[in-house]
Amino acid sequence: MDTIVIRDLEVSYHVGVPDVERAQPQRLLISVEMSRDFSRAAATDELHETVDYFAVSRRVLHWGEGRSWKLIETLAVELAEGIRHEFGAGQVTVEIRKFILPEARYVSVRTTRPVIG
């Protein structure tokens, strides 16, 4: 499998367990790795034969509009499954970095959803 990576896409989503934390959007960095065989895309030089990373990035940027989550784990799983289904990626891995602990550079979760079928 070949891989497309979107690294550290900056978004502002409402996320956090306490209501007060979710009240304002927080800066998150989201990385997405999408596997797919690039053979047909390389042979045809056609975008529809691969995963359109620009379209994926736009979708991720707008994923949080009008929504909120308590857990970044929930958000990560939702994103991975949504990208896999919407964009025809094989295996999808999503990592979300949250900057909430003053003593740590960041806290992150990482989830992988395998190839369908």
Which one is catalytic: 36, 84, 98, 113?
A: 98
Identify the domain containing residue 26 by its residue range: 2-113
Q: What is the CATH number of the domain that holds 85?
A: 3.30.1130.10
The pLDDT of residue 1: 83
Using a pLDDT cut of 70, give the percent of the chain over it: 99
Q: Which of the four pLDDT bands, split at 50, 70 and 90, describes residue 115? A: confident
Q: Which of the four pLDDT bands, split at 50, 70 and 90, describes residue 117? A: low
Residue 80, pLDDT above cutoff 70: yes
Q: Which residues contact 58 (CB under 8 A, 6 or more apart)?
A: none
Supply the pTM of this predicted model. Answer: 0.94
Count structural domains, the chain.
1
b/e sequence 23-57, b meaning 16+ C-beta within 10 Å? eeebebbbbbbbbbeeeebeeeeeeebbbebeebe
Question: Is 70 a catalytic site residue?
Answer: no
pLDDT tens figures, 24-49: 999 999 999 999 999 999 999 999 99
User: Torsions phi, psi of 28, nearest 5?
Assistant: -130, 150
